[in-house]
């Protein structure tokens, strides 16, 4: 199995070191034969080549079985021409590799119940999956740009578009995963599709397509619909009403950050972005956090948990994935906390840096 690592910018390199150590340890322990290769993306790539996704990185990514990504972006590249900013590199690699299905699991580790800003009884036992469409919608729709109107005023514009086929394929991923999760939990399978069908035609088609898909192929899975604004509210009010949420690129971006905070910190949230064949790019949901970069303060757990997702979805090796998740849980049991997941009451807890957190997970993995 060949894995390409793209550490990226900001805290990317430091969290990547810890995640790679964990991946290598898991590979040795479970004899997975993981071969690692490095590449650059985002600001790091701009500095070397002038482009956020150089051709050699894309070629390596295509050749690899899976890609592990840190984070991209930072103030240094915020003022360069928009079309070659670091974030465009991330969007391009998602699109070029056809990674249309972004899975973001917001699962509360019981040890972190007091690290969240939400009351414990609201989030206890929380385990929800956001399935975000990742290669379409307003992120990629044309036309887009900033133009000058006849009166000299500037106007920014983007286009939100979804074809039936795009909606169907992400819908299938959500319904299929709802079935898998229901089997594991013993609860009924259910999907909540998030749209803004009261205003946007594009999401009216989204909603209709989800209804038709459920009626034709997934009558065993419950389907509900919610407007995106209400979904934001319900996620805070009663997040446990959800199991699988499926939505477009923009709403998924927003809802997944919100869901992350239910779990205490976005530093805990891993993600998988999959193509039609299960090939994937795995990355933490958080960004490059330039304010704490290079200070050994970052939480490496989201990236380490992204490694677990890689083993589960691309390598289909549940045992090693579960072992990593178990190791993370045990480290939290031991009271180790990076700053972002520290309780207000820190008694019995130990504040650790990125490296120490990574090494502790490694030690548990054995």
Partner that binds at residue 25, options ligand IPM, Mg ion, none, CB closer than 5 to 8 Å by kind: none
Chosen residue from 133, 195, 253, 325 binding Mg ion by CB under 5 A: 253
> Least Å distance between CB 34 and Mg ion?
28
Give the total of residues touching ligand IPM (CB under 6 A).
Answer: 5
Q: How far is CA 247 from CA 36, 100, 312, in A?
A: 33, 12, 23
* x-marked contacts with ligand IPM along 302-341 as a string, rule CB under 6 A: ----------------------------------------
Query: Residue 189 or residue 235: which is nearer to Mg ion going by CB?
Result: 235
The active-site residue out of 56, 78, 229, 333 is 229
Active site residue 257: yes
- Identify the bridge partners of residue 272 per DSSP, sorted by sequence position: 103, 282
The strand pairing partners of 194, in sequence order, are: 226
Q: Catalytic residue among 9, 195, 253, 340, which?
A: 253
Among positions 52-111, residues that touch ligand IPM (CB under 6 A) are: 87, 90
Burial of 351 (0-12, 13-18, 19+ CB in 10 A): middle
DSSP H helices in 31-155: 43-49, 55-63, 86-96, 120-123
Whether 273 contacts 101, CB under 8 Å: yes
| Partner whose footprint covers residue 341, from ligand IPM, Mg ion, none (CB < 5 to 8 Å by kind) | none
139 is catalytic: yes
Name the binder of 354 from ligand IPM, Mg ion, none, CB < 5-8 A by kind.
Answer: none
127 in active site: no
Verify whether residue 56 is a known catalytic residue. no
Please, what is the minimum distance in Å from the beta carbon of residue 62 to ligand IPM? 21
Helices in the chain by DSSP H: which ranges? 12-30, 43-49, 55-63, 86-96, 120-123, 164-185, 201-217, 228-237, 249-262, 301-313, 318-333, 354-365
Name the binder of 311 from ligand IPM, Mg ion, none, CB < 5-8 A by kind. Answer: none
Indicate the residue among 90 and 309 with the shorter CB distance to ligand IPM.
Answer: 90
Tokens of 310: 């890689």
Q: Can you tell me the distance from the alpha carbon of 47 to that of 42, in angstroms, rounded to the nearest whole number?
A: 9
Regarding 253 and contact with ligand IPM (CB under 6 A), the answer is yes
Q: How far is it, in rounded angstroms, from Cα 263 to Cα 112?
A: 7
Q: Which residue is nearest to ligand IPM (CB)?
A: 87
**Residue 243 binds Mg ion, judged by CB under 5 A:** no
Task: Characterise 317 by phi-psi region: left (phi > 0), alpha (psi -120 to 50), beta (else).
Answer: beta
Q: Is 348 left (phi over 0), alpha (psi -120 to 50) or beta?
A: left
Contact positions toward Mg ion, by CB under 5 A? Answer: 253
Q: Which residues are catalytic?
A: 139, 196, 229, 253, 257
Contact positions toward ligand IPM, by CB under 6 A? Answer: 87, 90, 253, 285, 287
């Amino acid at each position: 199995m060949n894995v390409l690592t793209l550490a990226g910018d900001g805290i990317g390199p430091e969290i990547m070191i810890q995640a790679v150590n964990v991946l290598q340890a898991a590979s040795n322990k479970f004899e997975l034969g993981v071969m690692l290769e490095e590449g650059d993306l985002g600001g790091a790539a701009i500095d070397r080549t002038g482009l956020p996704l150089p051709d050699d990185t894309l070629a390596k990514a295509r050749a690899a079985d899976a890609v592990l990504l840190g984070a991209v972006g930072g103030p240094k590249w915020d003022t360069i021409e928009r079309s070659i900013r670091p974030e465009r590199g991330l969007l391009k690699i998602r699109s070029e590799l056809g990674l249309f299905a972004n899975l973001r699991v917001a699962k509360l580790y019981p040890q972190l119940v007091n690290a969240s800003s939400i009351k414990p009884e609201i989030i206890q036992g929380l385990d929800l999956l956001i399935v975000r469409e990742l290669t379409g919608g307003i992120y990629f729709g044309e036309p887009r740009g900033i133009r000058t109107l006849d009166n000299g005023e500037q106007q920014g514009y983007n286009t939100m578009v979804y074809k039936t086929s795009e909606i169907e394929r992400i819908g299938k991923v959500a319904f299929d995963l709802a079935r898998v999760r229901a089997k594991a939990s013993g609860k009924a399978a259910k999907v909540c599709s998030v749209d803004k069908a009261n205003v946007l035609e594009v999401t009216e088609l989204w909603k209709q397509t989800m209804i038709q898909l459920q009626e034709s192929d997934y009558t065993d899975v419950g389907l509900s619909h919610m407007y995106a604004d209400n979904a934001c509210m319900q996620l805070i009010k009663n997040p446990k009403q959800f199991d699988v949420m499926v939505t477009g690129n923009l709403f998924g971006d927003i809802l997944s950050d919100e869901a992350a905070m239910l779990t205490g910190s976005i530093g805990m949230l891993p993600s998988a972005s999959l193509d039609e064949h299960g090939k994937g790019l795995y990355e933490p949901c958080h960004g490059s956090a330039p304010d704490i970069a290079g200070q050994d303060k970052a939480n490496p757990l989201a990236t380490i948990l992204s490694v677990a997702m890689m083993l589960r979805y691309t390598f289909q090796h549940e045992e090693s994935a579960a072992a990593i998740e178990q190791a993370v849980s045990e480290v939290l049991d031991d009271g180790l906390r990076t700053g972002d997941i520290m309780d207000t009451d820190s008694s019995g807890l130990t504040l650790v840096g990125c490296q120490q957190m990574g090494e502790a997970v490694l030690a548990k993995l054995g």
